Chain A
Amino acid sequence: MILHWSQIYRVWRRNFIIFKRTWLLSLFWIVLEPLFLLAAIGFGLGAYVKTVGGLAYVDFYFPGLLCTTSMMISFFEGAYGNFSKLNSSRSVGGGAAMGIYSVILISPVTVPELTLGELFWAASKGMLSSIGLLVVGLFFGLGHTPRILVVIPVLFANAWIFSCVGMVVTSYVRNYDQMIFPTSGLIVPMSLFCGTFFPVNELNSILKSVIYVLPLTHSVEIVRKLFVSGFSVDLLINAFVLVVIGILVTRFALRRLAYRLQP
């Protein structure tokens, strides 16, 4: 099937129209949580830690926080945000209210276009949130390097992957309660162990090999290397892993939505 890129953009734009109304307020609340973490852990707890791999703790922690934020926001948008769009619900009148995805599919938009537009949206929101944090970080003397411009697409790729994961989750669960399993079993552990709070090297070799399969590890490593040491060849390896995972989860999300929306 041929994709019409303009249709993907229009699906994205529908979300943007809704977001636009409250974007400043939304962004404020979204950025507030990582900001607290930065203050309490980066600067607060970090003051008791001498250095990690030659870095001040807050410099070590900030790249992890950026990637975790982009992961969290796009995962939650993909999973919780998309659930009511995918499923029909009981309407106020008692009848079934069809999910907005089915409504959009009345028009010439196709299922892959709809899916990609929605993934693009959840990823945009995740990236925008981490950019918000990035900007705030500048005021605290974090990330003062021109390579920050390369960090942004990495944050987007990371957000894209987790918007796909969120979409896949929402295509399986029957209600909001069931989303706690992937959230507590996968997303939260990733935010703790993928080289975010402490170096991956501290783990034993079995755990380490598990951690290196997870995409967040690679995003964090890329962003940290870009901030600290600049470009290097091993960045390409991290990037390659991200791209492979990105392709796999995108295909998975497309397949799930095709299954759910074409009975």
Chain B
Amino acid sequence: MLNNKNTPVASSEATPVASAEVPTAPTWAAPPTLEAPTWAAPPTLVQELALDARHLVKSFDDLRALKGVSFDVRVGEVFGLLGPNGAGKSTLVKMVYGHVQPNSGDLYILGMNVRSSSREIRGRLGVVPQDEGLDVELTVLENLMVFASFFEVSEGVARARAYDLLKMMRLDEYTHEPVANLSSGYRRRLAIARAMVNHPEILILDEPTVGLDSQVRLWIWDFLKKVKDQAKTIILTTHYMEEAELLCDRIAIVDKGQALAVGSPQDLISVHLGPQMAEFEVAGTEMSYYLNRIRERRFKFFTVGSHIYVPFQAESDANELLTIVNSRRIAIRRTTLSDVFLHLAGHDLREEPT
């Protein structure tokens, strides 16, 4: 189903209209048929959405895990859900593959409603769950073969793909080993291989590099960049700022069940803060003195605990700040996504939520 603004969408199954960046064509251009005609849409107007989430709400008993989350993911982009432990990242991706049902709100994947087309949706996804979920009773190869069978991939095709994937993931020497014998890095790679055995249109990775040593992490990042080059859509969750910045075209910053901001890493930094950041720590008694001085100079700022953060634009601002604060205590650096998170959430990405 193509989504474009100039054609009325009649079916309740259809994806809600795409983002507002699409220019609106005159409504008289739309033919009176209720079907969206593909010929009427110039390619530039076509904006297919891999995922469209609207006001998703989920409660577990008393706990409100998602409090109305909205965002969309375009076909071919790498999208990151960045947030600390318990933010609701896994809950969100589980909704995509039907393991959690939303209490309210809508979720469309590739134009299909998760409430009514879960089987079809899952057939077009590849999922690496947070705890991998490998089949410990099977060997490495059997894990791929059995999973491929659930996707109705024929035995011959599955075998060819499995051997290709094992080679690509450098797992070939473990082909007939029981999964239980693999180290954590190999297990993660097998989980990724398994997610690709059905040639998915969307690859979902829930914390793909947590608990791995830096070598394996770099290898996986490299691998995901190659997948990205094949114009596959990737949705990943992470609480590593570097991971989000390195891999993702766009990011949703998630905290306590809410999407605080959505955009490209660069946009998030430039819209919410600025290219540069001055950070310094002051004693409690000095806080109001410094804040007043920063206010006098009309700088924007925010504080977290005893730290004061002052985003700024120009070099001259840095010099001005240095005159306010003792230069030994001030750090001047490039603004990062962590700063954006800190600014929006009021606490560190690495902290447990309070």
Contacts and interface: CB of A to CB of B under 8 A. Distances in A.
Nearest to B118: A110
B300 to A, nearest CB: 41
A45 interface: no
Contacts of A106: 97, 99, 122, 125, 127, 129, 133
Contacts of B97: 106
Interface in A1-44: 6-7, 10-11, 13-14, 17-18
Contacts of B131: 88, 91, 95-98
Contacts of B136: 97
Contact of A10 (B99, B118, B150): B150
Contact of B150 (A7, A18, A93): A7
B150 A100 contact: no
Contact of A107 (B120, B122, B142, B184): B122
Contacts of A91: 131
Nearest to B94: A263
Given A17-B138, A106-B122, A110-B119, A263 B150 contact: no
A154 B294 CA distance: 86
B24 interface: no
Interface in A88-112: 88, 91, 93, 95-98, 100, 102-110
Nearest to A91: B131
A205 interface: no
A262 interface: yes
Contact of B123 (A14, A96, A108, A263): A108
Interface string A100-142: 1011111111100000000000000000000000000000000
Contacts of A6: 152
Contacts of A93: 184, 211
Contacts of B133: 97-98, 100, 102-103, 106
B101 A107 contact: no
Contacts of A13: 146, 149
B135 A103 contact: yes
Contact of A108 (B60, B101, B122, B142): B122
A109 B211 contact: no
Q: How large is the interface on B (under 10, 10 to 19, 20 to 34, 35 or more residues)?
A: 20 to 34
Contacts of A100: 133, 135, 137
Interface string B244-256: 0000000000000
Contacts of A97: 131, 133, 136
B325 interface: no
Contacts of B101: 262-263
A10 B127 contact: no
B211 A107 contact: no
Contacts of B146: 10, 13-14, 17
Contact of A263 (B100, B122, B127, B147): B100
Contact of A98 (B118, B129, B142, B198): B129
A108 B99 contact: no
A97 B179 CA distance: 13
Contacts of A10: 146, 149-150
B133 to A, nearest CB: 4
Judged by DSSP, the binding face of B is: loop
Contacts of B16: none
Contacts of B198: 107
Nearest to A263: B100
B237 to A, nearest CB: 15
Interface in B72-113: 97-101
Contacts of B137: 18, 100
Contacts of A14: 135, 138, 146
Contact of B147 (A18, A96, A107, A110): A107
A74 to B, nearest CB: 19
A263 B131 CA distance: 18
Contacts of A263: 60, 99-101
B190 to A, nearest CB: 13
A88 B142 CA distance: 21
- The interface centre, meaning the residue of A7, A100, A108 with most chain B CB atoms within 10 A of its CB, is A108
A79 B113 CA distance: 35
Contacts of A108: 119-120, 122-123, 150-152
Contacts of B100: 263
B150 A109 contact: yes
Interface in B125-179: 125, 127, 129-131, 133-138, 142, 146-147, 149-152
B239 to A, nearest CB: 15
Contacts of A18: 137-138
Interface of B: 60, 97-101, 118-120, 122-123, 125, 127, 129-131, 133-138, 142, 146-147, 149-152, 184, 198, 211
Given A103-B135, A105-B99, 15 more contacts: A14-B135, A14-B146, A88-B131, A93-B184, A95-B130, A97-B133, A100-B133, A103-B133, A106-B97, A106-B99, A107-B122, A107-B150, A108-B119, A110-B118, A263-B100
27 contacts: A10-B149, A14-B135, A14-B138, A17-B138, A93-B184, A95-B130, A95-B131, A96-B131, A100-B133, A100-B137, A102-B99, A102-B129, A104-B150, A105-B98, A106-B99, A106-B122, A106-B125, A106-B127, A106-B133, A107-B147, A107-B150, A107-B151, A108-B151, A110-B119, A262-B101, A263-B99, A263-B100
9 tightest Cβ-Cβ pairs between the two chains A and B: A107-B150, A103-B133, A108-B123, A98-B133, A106-B127, A108-B122, A108-B119, A10-B149, A18-B137
